[in-house]
Each structure stands twice: as structure tokens, then as C-alpha cells.
Amino acid sequence: MRQLIANIKQLFVPNSLASTVLLTTVCLLLSGCQQESTQSHPAPTFSVQDLLQTSSNTLSVFYPKVTSPIPLKWPADHYTHPEYRSEWWYFTGHMTPDSNSTAEISSTPLSLGFQFTLFRQRALPPINSSAVNNAWQRPQIYMGHLAISHHQASIHRAAQRFSREGPGLAGLNDNSSFLHVLDWKIQPTPNSWWPVRISARDQKQQIGINLHLFPLKPITLQGSLGYSQKSNNPDNASMYYSYTRLKAWGSLYWQNQNLPVNGQAWFDHEWSSSSLDTGQVGWNWFALQLDNNHELMLYQIRNKQGGIRWADIALINENGTRLPIQTSDVTINTQQHWTSSKTGRRYPSLWRIKISRYAIDLEVKPTINDQEMRLALYYWEGSVMLSGSHKGKGYVELTGY
């Protein structure tokens, strides 16, 4: 296998990031990594910069960029935008057993967080204009990440899937009835998207989801009408929208048990061709659901020295309306760190977020310190609990550490 991969490397153009991504994915598939689900992956395959930073003029001619707000249409824009370089559909949530469930540990009702994300990466432009009609020549690579955090047991498990688009392997199926990576699916309701069903299972990690979701609030267009700028360069931007509070019900699979559950979730959808600028290495991203039926989305993009190069914020009220707010209204301080014993990476692990304008003073703390995703990408993605001026729950994502 090593010799085969070495031979394949000689076929790709040196220093081409698109070639690097495609080569890496080919090597993963040849190695059987589309079924990889262990948390002891020896080394990350991609970095965030590899996938989201475009510093080459050669790459820029292959992919359109998001440079201003794009008029959106529903439900069409819930689906794929294959001409852009990167795209993801992101679900997180907190679930508890149904009232008629007896699932308990030490007389304490179970509480579980979940993450389910499908990523699409356009590796190369089509060979010719007719190639997009040939399923074997579509230049799309798909990756799926699934994780469940068992709060009482302090256990976090994660799994992944990889596949090229290909016929019936990944992407949007022929009649647009679902989006998938192998047997992991996002299955919308025809003509409306909602309610949507998400399903995935990994037997090796003994985790899985089979959930239905429906929005309790209207859509939130992040940034300016969905145009979410990530640096001073207007070309470093994405189209980005959220559903910040979803009703979720169905079942979670844990340790050979299917647990009937219900709870609340969050959905993000984002696509771009160049999100990170040169010198930007990753971000701290917060999706927080407060107990007063408000939600807070906040991200900070960091440079190599650890400074904040760009930030954005959205505060959603009980009616689903964005409240007036600027990043200058917010102070966020990291109060503790946690170092992974598996990778040696050091992550923030306790934050205080203050927005005096709205009498918000939150302590944000992980439910479990070790929610590191040790997959093809190394990053920290985990459930958090809120205390202070408001209680609540949320998810935090930390990349580039």
C-alpha cells in the first residue's frame, strides 16, 4: 500500500493545494479511511489552512468567490453549491431521553450532546464542461463527522466517513431526495427541506443518530444578508446562515442501545472558496442557546501569534430577530486551558463572555474537557454549559491549535 501511494504522488502537480487535497483523499480511500472511526488517528491529514485558505492566483481562477451578498432562494440554497470550493452542513444539539425512557446512570437522567457535519470539498475543476454530467468525473470529495458526548460518563466518541462523489457514493442523490456520504444522510422533506432527518451510525465506536429536526425560529442570515466576511479582504468571505433553535426528536445509538430522545439543536450551512486570509490559522466559534430563548453566535479568527484578526457576532431574541450589536460590545476572556494527552495540543477550556448592553455575563464551560476530534482534521468540537447571568447550553469549535 505504501508503494502504491508513493507511485500516485508522482502523478500530482507539486505545490498545488487542490492536488494535495485530492491526493490526500485518494490515499485515505485506498487505505480504507472512509470507514475510519478511531480516536487514535496517528496524525491529522488536513489543516484548516489547507482546506479554507486560498493564496494562489491559480486556485482563484478555478473557484468563484463570495465577494458580496448573494440573493438566496429556499429551499434550493439548503442544498449544494458545487461550483464553490468548500461547503458544510452542520448540526449540533443536546438531547435527553423521552419521559417514558428509563435510561439512567446513578439515578441521573442521561444528557448527551451530538455533532453531525457533512463537508464538501471541490478538489479540481471539471475536465471539460460535459464532465459534470459524468458521475465519475465530478470533482467533489465528501467527508462526514459524527460525535456524541455522554456528559454523565465524561466520554466523547467520534467517527468519520470519506468518499468521492461518484455514482451513488456521496453528494446529492439523483432525485435530490437526500445528501449523503455513503450511508450517512441528511434527508429533507421534498419541496420544503423541513422537517429534515439526519442519520448516521458507526458500529466500531457504538455511536449513532436518527433524528428529525424542525425550526422553532426563522432563519438567521449571518454577517450582512448572509455575506460573512472573514478578514479585511472582502474576497475572504462565505455565505452563511443559521437556524439557531431547532426542535429535535428521534433516537441516539450508544453502547448497543437505541435511546428515544428529544431536545434542541442548531443548524449552520456555509459555502465559500476562500474563508481564511494569509496568516490566519483558525477560529474560536460559539453557538450558545440561552435559557431566556435568546441565542448567541460569536466567532473569532486568530493569527499565528494567537491574536484576533477578525470577529463577528449575532444575538437573536425570542422572536428570531437579530438585535443591534457590534463586536466592540463584547468582551471575551479565556480563563483556563486544557492540554490533550493524546496530541499535546493546548485549547482554551473556560471562557467569560460579557455583553453589558444586554446584561449578559456568561461563564462557558465544556461538559467534558476531552472533546478533541482526532480524525482527518484535528480540532476541538464540544458541548458546553452556561452559567452566570443566564443558564443554557451550546457548542464550541476550536480550530488551528
For residue 148, give the C-alpha cell.
Answer: 456524541
- With both helix axes pointing from N to C terminus, report the angle between 2-9 and 17-30 in degrees, rounded to the nearest 10: 160
- Taking CA atoms, 151 is separated from 103, 158, 384, 396, in Å, by 14, 14, 10, 15
- Predicted pLDDT of residue 367: 97
Contact criterion met (CB below 8 Å) for 116 and 395: no
- Predicted pLDDT of residue 174: 79
Alpha-helix runs per DSSP H in 31-178: 48-52, 57-60, 166-169
Rounded to an integer, what distance in angstroms lies between the CA atom of residue 387 and that of residue 63? 43
User: What is the enclosing helix (H) or strand (E) of 187?
Assistant: strand 184-189
Domains and CATH numbers, the chain: 2-398 (2.40.370.10)
Cis check: omega of the bond before 125, within 30 degrees of 0: no
For residue 61, give the C-alpha cell.
Answer: 481562477
Contact criterion met (CB below 8 Å) for 114 and 92: yes
Rounded to an integer, what distance in angstroms lies between the CA atom of residue 376 and that of residue 390? 36
Residue ranges of the chain with per-residue pLDDT less than 50: 1-40, 56, 58, 104-107
Taking Cα atoms as reference points, which of 140, 144, 212 lies closest to residue 182?
144
Taking Cα atoms as reference points, which of 208, 160, 212, 150 lies closest to residue 181?
160
Model pLDDT for residues 2-35, shown as the tens digit of each residue: 333 333 333 333 333 333 444 444 444 443 344 4
